[in-house]
Structure 1
C-alpha cells in the first residue's frame, strides 16, 4: 500500500511540474522598458495589455528613454500599482 501511495504522489508531482516551471520562468523574464516592443511589454508585464504597451512605446518615442521604473507612471494609464507589481522584471 505504501508503494502505491508513493508512486501516486510522485506521479502527481511530475504531472504538474512542467506547468509550474513554465509559469515561473515566464514571470522571471526581465523586460527592458527602453527597448522592448509592444509584444514583449504585453506578454511579460502584468497589467499591461496591448494599448498600454503601445502607450509606453509611443511615450518613449516622444520623450526618450525612461530613467527609472518609476518614470513609467508618466505614461497615461500606468500607476504605481502596475510599476510595483512588475518592479522585479523591469530593467533599463
Structure 2
C-alpha cells in the first residue's frame, strides 16, 4: 500500500513538472520568467524586472518584453489559445 502511494506521488509530481515546462504560461511576464528559469538564470527569473517594450501585436513575433541585465535582453512573447510563450530572443528589437 505504501508503494502505491509513492508511485502516485511520483506520477503526480512528474505530470506537474511536465505541465510547467512544456505548456504556455497564463501571462507574458510569467512566460518571460519561465524562459529565464529554464535558460539557467534561476535567480534572475525571480528578482529582475520585466519591462514591456514598445512593440505590441507584431504578427510574426508578438509583444516585446525587456530584461535589461541579460546578454540578450529583448524577448518576444506571443499568445496562442493555450497561453503565452517566448518565440524569439535577441540583443536588439
Which range, TM-score by smaller chain?
0.3 to 0.5
| Greater strand content | 2
| Greater helix content | 1
Report the TM-score when normalising by structure 2. Answer: 0.42
Report the TM-score when normalising by structure 1. Answer: 0.42
